[in-house]
Amino acid sequence: MNGGAALPDVPEVRVVGLPQLTSGFDLVARLDLGTHLKVHGPLEPIGGERLAALAERISLRGRGGAGFPFARKLRSVADAAIRRGVRPVVVVNGSEDEPACRKDTVLINRAPHLVLDGALLAAEALGARTLVVGVTRESTERSMERALAERGLSNRRGASMRARVQRNPVRMVTGESSALIRSADGGPARPPGRKVRASEAGVGGAPTLLSNAETFAQLAIAARTGADRYRGTGLRDEPGTVLLTVSGAVARPMVLEAPSGVPLRYVLQLAGAPPLPQGVLTGGYHGRWLDTATAHDVIVSRAALEAAGGALGAGAILPIGQDTCPLGEALLVARWLAGESAGQCGPCYRGLPAAARGLEDVLNGGGPAALEALRQITHAVKRRGACKHPDGSAAFIESSVSAFTDDLAAHVLGSGCGRPVRGVLPLQEEPAAGAGTGGGSGPSGQRLAVDWTLCQGHGLCADIVPELIQLGQDGYPSVAEASVPRWSQARAVRAVRRCPALALRLEEDPVKAPPGRSVLPMLQPGRGRRALGSGRE
């Protein structure tokens, strides 16, 4: 069961109604500064309070998933900067690391100056002299660096505005705001584990205005059109357009700009989804599933989707057809989410693999006991991590179990639903060499395996790598199907070396192993510790 193919950085772009964020996309592949000004026109500076009032009038919320009111964030940063007597920093979060999201990547690749317009507008209003644009992909790094050069902006000491691009690995956790701030300060791209508001102490300890790329682009549109004209599009309480990434079981994966309030069924129809999808995942892999009837009736807005039990999140919409096992699709995503852990807090690096194993037990006919165990694991994971990754991952698993009750009953009480797993939900391809975080997160390309003819149930391996191996009721280990994450490499090697019966080995993962490259030393069956070296730690 392999996950779906990764989306391209810039998929097809479609528009419902009049384009705003995507204006000019029908003319050129990328709007350079000259073309950008011809399409959108010049932009005049706006004072801090006027800018906050504008954001308030258009009900602008963060478009990265959390949906925090932008005006409140802007005022918070301004108040902290005045109180402390320091200049704030502005950070654009373009770290779109979820496999099902491409809207910010499309914006930075095709309309980078619209994003910069909003960021520089906020910087001018706040008196900021530092701008950081966080990205994770080579294409977005190249486009944004080119855009800064077109404006004559650089990180040169003494410049009136120091601007730079911060490139981080393509990892789920690197898009978390505290991870981006930490990396901008020269640290690893991981959440620090302590809750500090960026508006109080962000980059360099200064108050920091951090929001995602689409949010700044929306601000730039509103600053040009004015609040009244901006509010003429979309819903009264959520005006303007939204950018959606539509993938999964569709004929045409795409990024779509549409007015808020567009029927979800129309969005699915444009992308060529099945007429009667089995379910629609809304909000991406930290989101929630909608059933067929609900997806047919709901409109696209944050409030409407939440009321229906879904989520807008970062704008990812993923239908699946009737020809695949929905819980099997969810299991592939759950395993991927477990492998995306930063490996630094127990609820994440132990809890998420355990949740994936629990979901697998349910699918394999573990019965009501397995289902209850899964519910206990997901409940224990939430609200205990260094960031929101364990919370979002646990919510996804819980939604998967509750959304497909007929399939769940077939797996729990019978022999399964009988449908194959087609891997229609896109997953991330193996990152390029050197793309891991400083702490070595990401899949390693290998997995642990037990030679059952040698295993004697000593249980030492479960003590060394509890995130991958647990002991069953008979005292013998069960090995997770997920690849060994890079942050578990050292412990995995140690477990192999210390196995008293020489029953544990590392072998290539046929799904994750990069071609022609061996990451960890291999222990073949029947060979002792000395085959790996001295055997000393």
Taking only the tens place, the pLDDT of each residue in 212-267 is 999 999 999 999 999 999 999 999 999 999 999 999 999 999 999 999 999 999 99
Quick check: 62 and 70 in contact, CB under 8 A?
A: yes
112 vs 17: CA distance, rounded Å = 22
Which tens digit of pLDDT belongs to each residue from 158-210? Answer: 899 999 999 998 888 888 899 999 999 999 888 887 777 899 999 999 999 99
459 vs 367: CA distance, rounded Å = 26
Within the chain, how many helices (H) and strands (E) appear? 20, 14
| Backbone phi and psi for residue 234, each to the nearest 5 degrees, phi listed first | 85, -160
317 vs 272: CA distance, rounded Å = 13
If one compares 294 and 353, the residue with the highest pLDDT of the two is: 294
Widest Cα–Cα separation across the chain: 75
The confidence score (pLDDT) of residue 5 equals 66
- The strand ranges marked E within 224-291 are 241-246, 254-259, 279-282, 288-290
Mean of the per-residue pLDDT values for the chain? 87
Quick check: 241 and 20 in contact, CB under 8 A?
A: yes
pLDDT-above-70 percentage for the chain: 90
Of 79-88, 228-237, 528-537, minimum mean pLDDT range: 528-537
The confidence score (pLDDT) of residue 444 equals 63
pLDDT at 76 over 80: yes
459 vs 440: CA distance, rounded Å = 27
197 vs 76: CA distance, rounded Å = 10
pLDDT confidence tier of residue 516, bands split at 50, 70 and 90: very low
349 vs 331: CA distance, rounded Å = 17
Taking the model in full, what pTM does it have?
0.83
Interior CA angle at 59 toward 54 and 63, to 5°?
A: 110
Quick check: 494 and 451 in contact, CB under 8 A?
A: no
282 vs 276: CA distance, rounded Å = 16
> What DSSP element (H or E) covers 162?
strand 162-167
Which residues are CB-contacts of 49 (< 8 A; sequence separation ≥ 6)? none
- Our CA dihedral for 361, 490, 344, 355, rounded to 10 degrees, sits at 0
76 vs 367: CA distance, rounded Å = 51
Of 214-223, 306-315, 406-415, minimum mean pLDDT range: 406-415
pLDDT confidence tier of residue 519, bands split at 50, 70 and 90: very low
Quick check: 348 and 382 in contact, CB under 8 A?
A: no
The token pair at 511 is 């799904």
The confidence score (pLDDT) of residue 509 equals 66
162 vs 87: CA distance, rounded Å = 12
The confidence score (pLDDT) of residue 436 equals 38
Q: What is the mean pLDDT of residues 69-82?
A: 96
pLDDT confidence tier of residue 442, bands split at 50, 70 and 90: low
74 vs 48: CA distance, rounded Å = 8
If one compares 479 and 105, the residue with the highest pLDDT of the two is: 105
If one compares 336 and 523, the residue with the highest pLDDT of the two is: 336
pLDDT at 108 over 80: yes
258: left (phi over 0), alpha (psi -120 to 50) or beta: beta
298 vs 323: CA distance, rounded Å = 24
526: left (phi over 0), alpha (psi -120 to 50) or beta: left
If one compares 511 and 493, the residue with the highest pLDDT of the two is: 493
The confidence score (pLDDT) of residue 407 equals 93
